[in-house]
Amino acid sequence: MKAEIYRVAERYRLKVFVVANAYINVPRDPRIERVVVSDGFDAADDWIVERAGPDDIVVTADIPLADRSLRKGASVIGSNGVPFTSSSIGMAMANRELMSNLRAMGEITGGPRPMAPRDRSRFLSALDEAVQRHLRRRAALE
- Rounded to the nearest angstrom, the gap between the alpha carbon of residue 140 and the centroid of all alpha carbons in its chain is 25
Q: 2 by DSSP, 3-state: which?
A: helix
| In the predicted structure, residue 90 carries a pLDDT above the cut 90 | no
- 36-85 pLDDT tens trace: 999 999 999 999 999 999 999 999 999 999 999 999 999 999 988 989 99
CA distance 24 to 127: 22
Q: Residue 92: pLDDT band by 50, 70, 90 thresholds?
A: confident
- In sequence order, the 6+-apart residues with CB closer than 8 A to the CB of 41 are none
- 97-112 pLDDT tens trace: 888 878 788 877 666 6
Question: What's the pTM value of the predicted model, to 2 decimals?
Answer: 0.85
CA distance 121 to 105: 36
45 closest CA partner among 69, 9, 24:
69
So what's the pLDDT on residue 28? 94
- 123-140 pLDDT tens trace: 999 999 999 999 998 889
- 17-37 pLDDT tens trace: 999 999 999 999 999 999 999
